[in-house]
């Protein structure tokens, strides 16, 4: 990596904000499954996996409008409700493990007094359920969800988390697996860091000009370690 990921010296890095789905949690297969099931249940055309992975990262309403451009508000709400019911409760949908290295990464940052946050297109109920199930809730000083803010790439979620944490954009990094995360970061004047183990391939993420692009969270932790060692 050539770009300085983070000047960790002198407490310059104060806050790291993570996307959730496809970044910390390996949930895109469950999301695809439930988007396809929702379409089947309400009698809409079922989109293929590639089309669905493309829009993961947007808020669910924004995603439905991308997939079904002619949809009216009633269709969007029905689709979103059916999708969420599947995602939250379906016992036969794919499971959602954390990616390898999540707790090591969060522990390492926490151990250096870096604050942690989440900016996710999930619903508040969905995020709270995930934080409870994984035990990760205790790490985060602030979280922002898709039903409480405008959809990414609007900067609202990230600005909210920074305001809660009391940290300015220059001392913040946004980590995500989709171009929507990186574009949100740019709109909030926050350097974005891409991870490529989620929904969008490296070439697509590079187009959003991230500060750094890493294959996974273990590589991200190694990059942080190197950045620290460089000072
Ligand atoms: Mg994501």
Domains of the chain, residue spans: 9-27+98-229, 28-89
Q: What proportion of the chain, given as a percentage, has pLDDT over 70?
A: 94
Q: Comparing C-alpha atoms, which of 137, 208, 135, 146 is closest to residue 177?
A: 208
Find the Cα–Cα–Cα–Cα dihedral 26, 32, 38, 40, rounded to 10°: -150
| CA geometry: angle 84, 86, 91, nearest 5 deg | 140
CB of 121 within 8 A of CB of 144? no
Residue 139 CA, ligand 1 centroid: distance in Å: 19
Residue 220 CA, ligand 1 centroid: distance in Å: 16
Least confident of 3-12, 56-65, 166-175: 3-12
The whole-number pLDDT of residue 1 equals 42
The whole-number pLDDT of residue 2 equals 42
CATH 3.30.1310.10 fits 9-27+98-229, yes or no: no
Task: Tell me the mean pLDDT in the region 212-228.
Answer: 93
Q: Is the pLDDT of residue 9 over 80?
A: no
Q: Is the pLDDT of residue 185 over 80?
A: yes
For ligand 1, a single-atom ion, the residues with CB < 5 A are 19, 21-22, 57, 177-178
pLDDT band at 51 (very low <50, low <70, confident <90, very high): very high
Higher local confidence (pLDDT), 9 or 200: 200
Strand partners, 194: 176, 213
Least confident of 9-18, 119-128, 202-211: 9-18
SS3 128: helix
Higher local confidence (pLDDT), 12 or 16: 16
pLDDT band at 3 (very low <50, low <70, confident <90, very high): very low
Q: Is the pLDDT of residue 231 over 80?
A: no
Residue 10 CA, ligand 1 centroid: distance in Å: 31
Task: Tell me the mean pLDDT in the region 110-115.
Answer: 95
pLDDT band at 5 (very low <50, low <70, confident <90, very high): low
Residue 15 CA, ligand 1 centroid: distance in Å: 19
- Look up the CATH number of domain 28-89: 1.10.150
pLDDT band at 12 (very low <50, low <70, confident <90, very high): confident
Longest CA–CA separation in the chain, Å: 58
Give the model confidence (pLDDT) of 125-182 as tens digits.
999 999 999 999 999 999 999 999 999 999 999 999 999 999 999 999 999 999 999 9
Q: What are the catalytic residues?
A: 19, 21
How far, in Å, CA of 134 to CA of 153, rounded? 26
Residue 191 CA, ligand 1 centroid: distance in Å: 17
Instruction: Indicate whether this model's pTM tops 0.85.
Output: yes
Q: Is the pLDDT of residue 8 over 90?
A: no
């Amino acid at each position: 990596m050539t770009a300085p990921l983070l000047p960790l010296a002198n407490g310059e890095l104060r806050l790291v904000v993570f996307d959730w789905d496809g970044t910390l949690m390996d949930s895109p297969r469950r999301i695809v499954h439930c988007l396809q099931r929702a379409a089947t249940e309400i009698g809409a055309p079922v989109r293929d996996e590639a089309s669905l992975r493309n829009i993961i990262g947007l808020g669910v309403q924004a995603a439905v409008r991308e997939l079904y451009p002619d949809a009216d508000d009633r269709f969007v709400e029905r689709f979103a409700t059916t999708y969420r019911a599947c995602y939250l409760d379906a016992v036969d949908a794919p499971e959602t493990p954390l990616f390898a290295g999540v707790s090591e990464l969060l522990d390492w940052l926490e151990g250096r007094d870096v604050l942690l946050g989440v900016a996710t297109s999930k619903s508040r109920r969905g995020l709270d359920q995930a934080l409870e199930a994984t035990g990760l809730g205790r790490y985060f000083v602030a979280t922002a969800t898709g039903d409480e803010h405008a959809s990414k790439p609007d900067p609202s979620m990230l600005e909210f988390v920074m305001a809660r944490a009391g940290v300015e954009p220059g001392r913040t990094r946004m980590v995500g697996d989709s171009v929507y995360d990186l574009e949100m970061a740019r709109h909030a004047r926050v350097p974005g860091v891409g991870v490529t183990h989620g929904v969008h391939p490296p070439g697509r993420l590079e187009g959003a000009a991230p500060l750094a692009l890493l294959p996974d969270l273990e590589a991200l932790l190694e990059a942080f370690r190197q950045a620290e060692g460089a000072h």
